[in-house]
Amino acid sequence: MPRILLGLSTTSIVFCGAIFGFFYAWVCSTMWGLDRADSRVAIAAMQAMNASVRNVVFFPAFFLTPVVLGVTAAAAYFRGYNVPACWFAAAAVVYLVFGLLLTMTVNVPMNEALAATTVPHDVETARIIWQDYSQRWQFWNHVRAMASGISLAFASFGLAKL
């Protein structure tokens, strides 16, 4: 196997693993913790986390994962590794649609709406706002976490078939 394919495959797996881990952490700890907190604190904390996530550390895993997977698929295909190319291409499509695009069309608009919300002083109002946001946000985060995990598995299958 050419070194370039090994390097690209490894990079693909690292990128998939990074974004899967990011989404998974929200599933298994962050949101559960926020759900147990005072809703006013949860709203303020989520606003702060959403504002901080747009940074140079997050950018590569979130935006470049489908690019790296696509480049890996193309490199494998053009070197005659058709089966691995299909696995890497499938990983790219799954993450692109159910990770990146889903985030941009569902979770980000929800985050922006929450960011525009003034944290209410009233506990009951805050509870209603948080409960509505958290339940919907978590559902879609589960989808993108599963999709990222599937992309990671597909990329791993691609590497195994090289």
pLDDT digits (tens, 9 = 90+) for 75-93: 999 999 999 999 999 999 9
pTM, full prediction: 0.95
pLDDT digits (tens, 9 = 90+) for 94-152: 999 999 999 999 999 999 999 999 999 999 999 999 999 999 999 999 999 999 999 99
Token couple for 114? 């929450």
Would you say 34 and 148 are in contact if contact means Cβ atoms under 8 Å apart? no
pLDDT of residue 58: 95
Which residues in 72-106 are b (16+ Cβ under 10 Å) and which e?
bbebbeeeebeebbbbbbbbbbbbbebbbebbeeb
pLDDT of residue 55: 93
